[in-house]
Structure 1
Amino acid sequence: MTQFSHITVQDVADNKDSYAIVDIRDPQSFANGHMPDALHLSNDNLATFIENTPKEKPVVVVCYHGISSQQAAQVIAGQGFDTVYSMDGGFEAWRLSQPVVSDNA
């Protein structure tokens, strides 16, 4: 079985254009603030994401604090992606040191 790896906020920030970033938090939290270019991933769009994302594109999974993202990263890794990461510290760690995008005007 393919395994996921851990990645730091700084490693993602330094190379963010290299990754497909998926955020598994609830829709309201995502709308209130998320990483630039992150996709809100839910059960409703998981199949589409898997189908439309190149398997060689590294995927970074983000949750609130870096705990729930580990299980989601394992599921995504099991779908044939070459490289899947769970971001340590989650969105809260990102928010403390990096730019955040809000969907709310």
Structure 2
Amino acid sequence: MYNIMAFICRFDVNCAVNLPHLFVKKERRMDQFECINVADAHQKLQEKEAVLVDIRDPQSFAMGHAVQAFHLTNDTLGAFMRDNDFDTPVMVMCYHGNSSKGAAQYLLQQGYDVVYSIDGGFEAWQRQFPAEVAYGA
């Protein structure tokens, strides 16, 4: 049997030590979405470990949404899927943390590896992070 590590590392003696890190995925594919609180969601967003989508209606989104949130609607779903790889973790926000669960499950079914539903939704986000709320569409 051919030793693939020897083939890949034949020119670099340090390769065998560093190579395994190239194949490590940050998070494994989920079978089911997971719920996440707003503090953990905020941290993932700040550390650029995930993208945030807001599934509320256009009027609610315009009246206030989390900074960096992508307004995910039936009309914007195609653009979102083109712009975000399936291995990009996605956090879904709604009003109170209920309807985001259905959207999170849908995104998993579409092929996203890691999807979270944010407990408490935008209401909890606005309460905990009022300085990180944007206004307008």
- Deviates most, 24-33 or 44-53: 44-53
1:25 and 2:56 are equivalent in the alignment: yes
Is 1:69 aligned with 2:89?
no
Gaps of 5+ in 2: 1-29
Partners of 1:89 and 1:74 lie apart in 2 by: 17
- Whichever residue aligns with residue 102 of structure 1, its letter is Y
Larger Rg: 2
Residues 8-87 of structure 1 correspond to what in structure 2 (within 5 A)?
8-16=37-45, 17-87=48-118
Q: How many residues align?
A: 104
Determine the C-alpha separation between the residues in 1 that align with 2:79 and 2:42. 26
Tell me which amino acid in the other structure corresponds to 1:3. Q
Counterpart-to-counterpart distance in 1, 2:92 and 2:59: 18
**2:33 counterpart residue number:** 4
Q: Is residue 100 from structure 1 mapped to residue 100 from structure 2 by the alignment?
A: no
Partner of 2:122: 91
**Partner SS state of residue 32, structure 2:** coil
Instruction: Say if 1:6 and 1:85, in contact at 8 Å, map to a contact too.
Output: yes
**Identical aligned pairs, as a percentage?**
49
Is the 1:21–1:38 Cα contact (8 Å) retained in structure 2? yes
Q: Supply the distance in 2 between the matched residues of 1:33 and 1:102 (Cα, whole angstroms).
A: 5
Q: Which structure is richer in relative contact order (CA contacts within 8 A, separation 6 or more)?
A: 1
Q: TM-score, normalised by structure 1?
A: 0.92
What are the ranges of 5 or more consecutive residues in structure 1 without an aligned counterpart?
none
Deviation at 1:48, TM superposition (A): 2.1
Q: Could you tell me how far 1:44 is from its partner in structure 2?
A: 0.6
Equivalent position SS for 2:61:
helix
Q: Structure 1 residue 102: deviation in Å?
A: 0.9
SS at match of 2:102: helix
